[in-house]
Amino acid sequence: MKYVDEFRDGKLARKLGKAIAQEADDSRTYNLMEFCGGHTHAIFRYGVQDLMPDNVKFVHGPGCPVCVLPIGRIDNAIALVEENDAILCTYGDMMRVPASGRKSLLKAKAAGADVRMVYSTQDALKLAREFPDKEVIFFAIGFETTTPPTAVAIKQAQAQGLKNFTVFCNHVLTPAAIQHILQSPEVREMGAVSIDGFFGPSHVSSVIGTEPYEFFAEEFQRPVVIAGFEPLDVMQSALMLIRQLNEGRSEVENEYTRVVTREGNLKAQSLVAEVFELRREFEWRGLGMVPYSALSIKEEFAEFDAEVRFSVPKIVAYDVKGCECPSILRGVKKPTDCKLFGTVCTPENPMGSCMVSSEGACAAYWSYGRFRQPDVKGGKVIKIEKEAA
Amino acid sequence: MAAKRFPMKLNLKNGQVEMVHGSGGRAMAQLIEEIFVKHFSNDLLNQGNDQAMFHVDAGRMVMSCDGHVISPLFFPGGDIGSLSVHGTVNDVAMSGAKALYLSASFIIEEGYPLADLNRIVESMAAAAKKADVMIVTGDTKVVERGKGDGVFITTTGVGVVPEGVNISGDKAQVGDVVLVSGTMGDHGVAIMSSREGLEFETEILSDSAALNGLITEMVEAVPEIHCLRDPTRGGLATTLNEIALQSVVGMQLVEDDVPVHEDVKAACELLGLDPLYVANEGKLICICAPEHADTLLKVMQNHEYGKNAAIVGKVVDDEHGFVQMETTFGGSRIVDWLAGEQLPRIC
């Protein structure tokens, strides 16, 4: 496939692997956090860890939008569709995320609620036009990448005079979350997590640019490399991070130059600024309350805000007992440290959100990396036998 | 001159299926005669009994049934009619059997256009003729509007297994070679491309086809084939996991060797799907001893439904039954069972 295969070239990968092994200092480890679930997925999907030296480790971060949404907000979404006889539409992964009381949007759908999977905000708008007598609520989730399309939909709804379209807004912000992780006691004082550098999510930066990371690269003395999502991007970015660390630099570098600029997509930014404003704080699963880390709909677009039109109470909900999603999302624990992992919690029957999305660390571990882990029963680690090249 | 049984012919242009067509009376008899018998016509069916009676030589028979609930009913490269023949013929043939007869049970929603039903039945008849099987008995039910989704078709097939052929999912052995008969994921992507609310432009056609002819040639060339299975829902990944579990072996695939159509790759990339998990309706997986692999590969590649056949991996010793894959990138990963559902109602 043109423009894709080039970034998955095995020969180049082996060369890069050698270069990384040469540059990495044997006397130390490099703990590199990929913030975004897209990177987690690529690392497992292509077996990137196999090509890295043992002392370069990936720490999986909280950048999976369905994983970080607190259970209470999913409870809200279920209540919204059930209590208002509405059509609730959302992106596919959201459907299976467990809510309180063993519910999920998928189970609500099976019980008769009109929950629909859409691929874009435009599909949601189309539904609103098709069913003028029904309230159509778009359950908006995601980082800066999915925010501009939601802004566009709200503006279109206004232009088209749609009276039955609202957005339940759960858009969150990447830089605020990374900063929060670096300020967490585990990282700052206790030393429970060591994070030496960050892979910045490239799609987020295609919108916000690289500039928003400059403050904390400097403040926290951690290098950041904006990394594309193809496996060669990840490896090249790892090399760039290792170089910075070896040279004692903490800068924001851009590996994904084919798309990302320092200032980002100004048009998208102005659209977002027009429709949304910062929430004073927002709850993240795993991180707790994070100040100024999410967006809400501005008052002038209040008629399209589901939280204004309907009753959306604040629900405090708790994770399933034993579920380590919160620690896994902070990089404090690995999926295999969780007692539920692979026993009662599997992609078929997820207990925690990290097992739901293919971008969740647990799902990636389970689906792609299981053989690397000691088997649940036998404790045997199986390695692929490699034929001589 | 005897009076015509049905003085007024069914209106195949603008008519629709009504509750009365499933009531067992004259209207149902007319529907059967003017649509089903007309297209399926054969000596066994035409006897008009509630069952078909046929002679079989002594030996082992196989029987398989498959319900078809696909949405949309007409899709690029096929429709529910041809699919309902292919699906069951393939299930019968994967045992190495010669598929002989099919039954067809229709559940039709009230109000369904007779013209569309006629098209579906025509397509079924053509598929059966091409696959050289006969539809010898059937059933028609009509459900109220809103209680079905157009047409559901359940087919059952029977066939006879030749002497000396023992093909089964539990017969994969360490050292065996894994072959596929062509590109993976065509059917699922074709369905996805025509689903309401998700139309995207692609040239991809469903691969829906009856593979009994191909299998006959393969079994003639190598009667000792160990396993045959069609990677339908759940795709190649899930089907290999099933076989690994049944045979208590592991599998090792090479990603570069798995044939995937460029357009399917692109569509999967866009939709976040993995072609290894996308359904096929005209492909098979063959597992055989290494000394037979080249012969079978040639037989497949010389057949119209196996042109892109390839060796994709091998069977290894692994009590856990894991399917692993060397990625294009040079790393390795587990290829697990499909979790959740990738696509709604694809067959």
Among the partner residues B271, B320, B329, nearest to A382 by beta-carbon distance:
B320
Q: CATH number for the domain including B234?
A: 3.90.650.10
Which residues touch A122 (CB under 8 Å, ≥6 apart)?
A149, A153
Chain A residues whose beta carbon lies within 8 Å of the beta carbon of residue B339:
346-348, 363, 367
Chain A residues whose beta carbon lies within 8 Å of the beta carbon of residue B255:
none
Among the partner residues A46, A123, A385, nearest to B327 by beta-carbon distance:
A46
Shortest alpha-carbon distance between residue A14 and chain B (Å): 8
Q: CA A223, A228, A230, A231: dihedral to nearest 10 degrees?
A: -10
Q: CATH number for the domain including B149?
A: 3.30.1330.10
Q: Do the Cβ atoms of B329 and A96 come within 8 Å?
A: no
Residue A123: CB atoms within 10 Å: 17
Whether B7 is covered by a domain: the verdict is no
Q: B151 and B228 share a domain?
A: no
Question: Domain limits at B25?
Answer: 19-161
Q: Do the Cβ atoms of A369 and B333 come within 8 Å?
A: yes
- Please give chain B's pLDDT, 347 residues, in tens: 556 788 889 999 999 999 999 998 999 999 999 999 999 999 999 998 999 999 988 789 999 999 999 999 999 999 999 999 999 999 999 999 999 999 999 999 999 999 999 999 999 999 999 999 999 999 999 999 999 999 999 999 999 999 999 999 999 999 999 999 999 999 999 998 887 666 667 778 999 999 999 999 999 999 999 999 999 999 999 999 999 999 999 999 999 999 999 999 988 888 878 899 999 999 999 999 999 999 999 999 999 999 999 999 999 998 888 899 998 888 888 898 887 665 657 66
Picking from B332, B341, B342 by the largest number of A CB atoms within 10 A of its own CB, the best residue to mutate is B332
Whether B8 is covered by a domain: the verdict is no
Q: B219 and B113 share a domain?
A: no
Question: Total domain count for chain B?
Answer: 2
Residue A189: the pLDDT is 61
Chain B residues whose beta carbon lies within 8 Å of the beta carbon of residue A231:
329, 331
Q: B24 and B154 share a domain?
A: yes
Residue A198: the pLDDT is 93
Whether B122 is covered by a domain: the verdict is yes
How far lies B137's CA from each of B45, B62, B131, in Å?
6, 17, 17
What is the C-alpha separation between A334 and A328, in angstroms, rounded? Answer: 6
- CA-nearest of A125, A149, A145 to A136 is A125
Whether B275 is covered by a domain: the verdict is yes
Query: Would you list the DSSP string of A14-55?
Result: HHHHHHHHHHS-TTS-EEEEEEEHHHHHHHHHTTGGGGS-TT
What is the C-alpha separation between B72 and B194, in angstroms, rounded? Answer: 7
Interface check A21 vs B, CB under 8 A:
no
What is the C-alpha separation between A180 and A187, in angstroms, rounded? Answer: 10
Interface check B345 vs A, CB under 8 A:
no
Residue B340: the pLDDT is 66
Q: B291 and B317 share a domain?
A: yes
The strand pairing partners of A134, in sequence order, are: none
Q: Do the Cβ atoms of A1 and B272 come within 8 Å?
A: no
Q: B308 and B234 share a domain?
A: yes
Query: Would you list the DSSP string of B285-331?
Result: EEEE-HHHHHHHHHHHHTSTT-TT-EEEEEEE--TT--EEEE-TTS-
Residue A355: the pLDDT is 87
Which residues touch B181 (CB under 8 Å, ≥6 apart)?
B211, B214, B283, B284, B285, B286, B300, B305, B306, B308, B309
Whether B325 is covered by a domain: the verdict is yes
Shortest alpha-carbon distance between residue A370 and chain B (Å): 7
Residue A379: the pLDDT is 36
Interface check B330 vs A, CB under 8 A:
yes
Q: B208 and B114 share a domain?
A: no
Chain B residues whose beta carbon lies within 8 Å of the beta carbon of residue A56:
none
Q: Do the Cβ atoms of B322 and A382 come within 8 Å?
A: yes
Q: B83 and B190 share a domain?
A: no
Domain boundary among the residues B161, B189, B214 is at: B161
Q: B309 and B201 share a domain?
A: yes
Chain B residues whose beta carbon lies within 8 Å of the beta carbon of residue A380:
320
Residue A382: the pLDDT is 41
Tokens of B197: 């609310």
Chain A residues whose beta carbon lies within 8 Å of the beta carbon of residue B250:
382
Point out the residues of chain A with pLDDT beneath 70. Answer: 187-193, 369-389
How many inter-chain contacts (A to B, CB under 8 Å) are there?
A: 91
Phi-psi region of B177 (alpha: psi -120 to 50; beta: other; left: phi over 0): beta
Q: Do the Cβ atoms of A96 and B340 come within 8 Å?
A: yes
Asked if A328 and A286 count as a contact pair (C-beta separation under 8 A), the reply is yes
- Which residue of A lies nearest to B344 if distances are taken between CA atoms? A117
Q: B263 and B214 share a domain?
A: yes
Asked if A51 and B331 count as a contact pair (C-beta separation under 8 A), the reply is yes
Q: B38 and B136 share a domain?
A: yes
Which residues touch B228 (CB under 8 Å, ≥6 apart)?
B93, B94, B95, B96, B167, B215, B218, B284, B285, B286, B287
Q: Do the Cβ atoms of B332 and A50 come within 8 Å?
A: yes
Residue B227: the pLDDT is 98
Q: What number is the ipTM of this complex? A: 0.77
Whether B249 is covered by a domain: the verdict is yes
Chain B residues whose beta carbon lies within 8 Å of the beta carbon of residue A66:
none
Asked if A157 and A125 count as a contact pair (C-beta separation under 8 A), the reply is yes
The strand pairing partners of A277, in sequence order, are: A296
Domain boundary among the residues B161, B192, B209 is at: B161
Q: Do the Cβ atoms of A382 and B269 come within 8 Å?
A: no
Whether B283 is covered by a domain: the verdict is yes
Delineate the domains of chain A, giving CATH numbers in brackets.
5-64+175-254 (3.40.50.11750), 67-173+264-309 (3.40.50.11740), 325-372 (no CATH)
Look at residue A284 and give its three-state secondary structure: strand
Residue A377: the pLDDT is 37
Residue A325: the pLDDT is 87
Q: B133 and B201 share a domain?
A: no
Q: Do the Cβ atoms of A375 and B332 come within 8 Å?
A: no
Reported pTM: 0.85
Among the partner residues B265, B320, B324, nearest to A1 by beta-carbon distance:
B265
Interface check A14 vs B, CB under 8 A:
yes
Interface check B324 vs A, CB under 8 A:
yes
In angstroms, the first-to-last Cα distance of chain B is: 47
- Which residue of A lies nearest to B273 if distances are taken between CA atoms? A358
Whether B339 is covered by a domain: the verdict is no
Interface check B317 vs A, CB under 8 A:
no
Q: B197 and B135 share a domain?
A: no
Domain boundary among the residues B137, B161, B185 is at: B161
